[in-house]
Chain A
Amino acid sequence: MSADQSPLEIKGLRKSYGSFEAVKGVSFDVRPGEIFGLLGPNGAGKTSIISVVVTLERPSAGQALVFGQDVQVNPRYTKSVIGYVPQEIINHGFFNVEEILSFYSGYFGKRKNQDRMEWILQRLQLWEHRKKKVKQLSGGMKRRLLIAKALVHEPKLLLLDEPTAGVDIELRCSLWDFVVELKKMGVTILLTTHYLEEAEKLCDRVAIIHQGELRCVGETHGLIHELTQRQVVVVLKSELKPIRHPLLVAQREHELEFRLPASMAVGELLLELGLDMAVVQDLRISEGSLEDAFQCIVGEKS
């Protein structure tokens, strides 16, 4: 396994349930050491893709490669390097948190894993709940237990399917901090979430899928830049008579608000307006958000 080997490659992946095709030929790569966001509305096919990677589902066509190994051909290897956090809560009947983690370690062939388990439990604030059974945990704790389970064997690729669903704001932040910490430790992370603001801050790259098709993939900020319009507000020293310009969105007393496509530079706009630079008090430029980009892709035809 070389250092630049892609931790996860999805190639022409299709997945049908009966006659319904949930994933329609999706391809993308996840790069070593990055946080990759797999985004899309409900039913887009995110969980289906992840299920194929962890071998819960068989692909109808195409491949998923984990560090170069096909998950269908060499599942023992790929499973041993993947940490998987499912979207649905898993119950464990009679067992408590500590027992569940020790079983899980054992399934990965680790016998004495006390130190690692304690670190994870402390880090996920589950240490004081380690003697509780799953049904005695709150919803947020159950979700953190899923994450704890996925980490016992020091995975190299972590798949998080909505790890923060049902988790409160404060905890969500601390979870994302933890994800960043894991990234610094060299773990490659693929996550799905419906909190786009958080995804924007967190993800190095994102893919947006819609109705089983990949709509775009790329660097988060590059995508936003490409897909959304910048908002440019020109603040003036004195009031101006009403002006006309195709990109003008609003004119207030001292302000002109424009929406600029990625292709246009701010300088160009100012030149076109032919304003006297002396009257320009201030220039406020804000990028669009991932949410705007998402809307632009998912909203266009559905």
Chain B
Amino acid sequence: MSSKAQLSWVPFFTLFRRECMRFQKVAAQTLLTPLINSSLYLLIFGVSLGQHISLVSGVSYLAFLIPGLVMMSCLNNAFQNSSSSVGGAKFAGELEDFKVTPLSEQQIIWALSFGGLARGLIVGFITYLVGQAFYFLTHGAWLGVEHPLILLFFLIVGGLAFAQLGLMVAFWAKTFDQLSVVGGFILLPLLYLGGVFFSIESLHPFWRNLAQFNPLLYLINGVRYGILGISDVPLGFAAVVSLLALLLMYVLALRLLRVSSFSRW
């Protein structure tokens, strides 16, 4: 498993470029829709409801909400990108192309994950900009980034993990319906209950204990620490959990790539 051709970066970059071109070609769906979504969340939760919510940590609710929304957009879009790319490729028969060319499993997994991450980062950044605009309008000042490297770490680890979750689900799925079921019924609740909209400190102890098992809690709090410098959970622990989540997703995605069929739907 280590010939020259295998180490070549050309197949990897080609597939990565394809992934990026794919979501740019449908920018209306992939970039504009998330922009509108985050604006609505910010308007409804951050601005209207936020005035009635006070937080333990003393930051304004809008400031608390923005990092959560940034991460939620990033994760959701990373997932959507890789899952719909593989789902679409299965539907079109294009996935067979991946199988009959010398692309390796590693090249497929990582090129598709980085493609998902790229879209996640772009949408996350757009969400951040929209958040900034709302923050400026309501607070008369900009919201800074406290720890840019920590922010980047959590965005990248989380984005890759979710892109790989998307791959895993799409390799496993036999129909588009199965894909959307996972997206709708599993992913969204996890995202919502991962501490995007509220601090788990404010929860009933039962829910607070349960929330500890949601890996998204750590990813989202990591990003919140990166931007605001505050977190509901210890940062080091959050970093470890995030890396473990990535490792788990990677192993599962690779496994499903190996066992599942490349043939068309």
Contacts and interface: CB of A to CB of B under 8 A. Distances in A.
A76 B105 CA distance: 11
Interface string B94-108: 101111111110000
Given A55-B100, A90-B92, 19 more contacts: A75-B102, A76-B3, A76-B104, A79-B102, A82-B100, A84-B100, A86-B93, A91-B94, A93-B88, A95-B22, A95-B25, A103-B15, A104-B101, A105-B14, A106-B17, A108-B101, A109-B5, A109-B8, A109-B11
Contacts of B98: 107
Contacts of B11: 106-109
Given A94-B25, A106-B13, A107-B11, A79 B101 contact: yes
Contacts of A77: 3
B102 A76 contact: yes
14 contacts: A79-B100, A82-B100, A86-B93, A88-B264, A91-B93, A93-B94, A94-B22, A95-B22, A95-B25, A102-B14, A106-B11, A106-B13, A108-B11, A109-B8
B97 A90 contact: yes
Given A107-B11, A109-B11, A94 B102 contact: no
Given A80-B5, A95-B21, A111 B10 contact: yes
B139 interface: no
Contacts of B218: none
A107 B97 CA distance: 9
A288 B263 CA distance: 40
B250 interface: no
Interface in A161-196: none
A56 B100 contact: yes
Interface in B73-101: 88, 91-94, 96-101
A110 interface: yes
Interface residues of B, number: 32
Nearest to B103: A107
A240 interface: no
Interface of A: 54-56, 75-77, 79-80, 82, 84, 86, 88-95, 99, 102-111, 149
Contact of B93 (A80, A90, A99, A106): A90
B189 to A, nearest CB: 30
Q: Which of B18, B25, B92 has the most CB of A within 10 A?
A: B18
Of B26, B99, B101, B104, most A-chain CB atoms within 10 Å: B101
A223 B102 CA distance: 37
Contacts of A104: 97, 101
A76 B104 CA distance: 8
B93 A89 contact: yes
Nearest to A55: B99
B96 A90 contact: yes
B262 interface: yes
A106 B3 CA distance: 17
A54 B100 contact: yes
Nearest to A53: B100
Nearest to A111: B10
B15 A76 contact: no
Contacts of B264: 88
Of B22, B96, B264, chain A has the most CB atoms within 10 Å of the CB of B96
Contacts of B214: none
Nearest to B91: A91
B6 interface: yes
Contacts of B10: 106, 109-111
Interface in B1-46: 3, 5-6, 8, 10-11, 13-15, 17-18, 21-22, 25-26
